[in-house]
Amino acid sequence: MSTNIMPGASTPVPTLDVLVRQRRFPENTGLRFLGTGVSLFPEGAFRAETVRIVEGCVCLYQPLADGRRQILDVLGPGRLMGPVLADLGRCDVMTLTRTCLKAIDPAREALCITEALQQSLRRSQAHALLLGRKTVTERIATALLDLAWQFSHGSPVRGGVTFSLYLTRADLADWLGLTLATVSRCLSALKRHGLIAYDHPKVVTILNREALEALALGAPAPADGGVPT
């Protein structure tokens, strides 16, 4: 237990990660296991496949010719990805941690796919609002709440939801239309004000959900000079 990847977290999240690592799943269930930083649909292969994320985290992103990229969505367990859910000709999908997938039958699960399509559209439209009109603080607050909701599997303990942040600061920047430095500064500020906590940069605890939600919706951000601490 002391070798867990999350030393600072008081709640040892019971993920399937260990199982995935040890390949303890039977081989005939259609599951696929991927490491970190791996393309889901490598080099034209699997491009026609639709998969369900069983465990882990992936991001859908679109690169621009000169190196810029925009992460369009971050997907956790239960979400679907496939040619219908994104333009895989222009986009790519990458794991952000060890991830377990299961291919699904589009014909048999047509309804699920349509629902996923609607969910993706809603999320994309909400994200457009974020990218076009929200301030740095609003973006970070929105993102933290979204990730907490998707990745704090287990009980939403009141007073402190802890989750594993699979994205690097650079990933967050590419998702939220910011830069690495700005993301880091904003997270530091939220931590300084006591809205969130983290010792390890990848394990975040939400301390004041209400305040974060208010920020995400556009409440004035706390001025930095106000609270000394």
Residue 36 interacts with a second copy (CB under 8 A): yes or no: no
Gap between the Cα atoms of 79 and 90, Å rounded: 20
**Shortest distance, position 197 Cβ to DNA, whole Å:** 11
Q: Which does 86 bind (CB under 5 to 8 A by kind): a second copy, DNA, none?
A: a second copy
Residue among 11, 119, 150, 184 that touches DNA (CB under 7 A): 184
| Helical packing angle, 209-217 and 136-151, nearest 10° | 130
The answer to whether 141 touches 204, Cβ cutoff 8 Å, is no
SS3 40: coil
Residue 135 interacts with DNA (CB under 7 A): yes or no: yes
Polymer length of the chain: 229
Residue 4 interacts with DNA (CB under 7 A): yes or no: no
Residue 94 interacts with a second copy (CB under 8 A): yes or no: no
Residue 200 interacts with DNA (CB under 7 A): yes or no: yes
The answer to whether 104 touches 34, Cβ cutoff 8 Å, is no
Residue 36 or 118 with smaller CB distance to a second copy:
118
Angle, CA of 196, 198 and 202, to the nearest 5°: 115
Residue 48 interacts with a second copy (CB under 8 A): yes or no: no
Tokens 């004000």 appear where?
193
Interface stretch with a second copy, choices 2-10, 49-57, 145-153, 170-178 (CB under 8 A): 170-178
Residue among 169, 193, 215, 216 that touches DNA (CB under 7 A): 169
The answer to whether 115 touches 125, Cβ cutoff 8 Å, is no
Gap between the Cα atoms of 195 and 193, Å rounded: 6
The answer to whether 136 touches 186, Cβ cutoff 8 Å, is yes
Q: Which does 179 bind (CB under 5 to 8 A by kind): DNA, a second copy, none?
A: DNA
Residue 9 or 85 with smaller CB distance to a second copy:
85
Residue 79 interacts with a second copy (CB under 8 A): yes or no: no
Binding positions for DNA, rule: CB under 7 A: 7, 135-136, 168-170, 177-182, 184-185, 187-188, 198-202
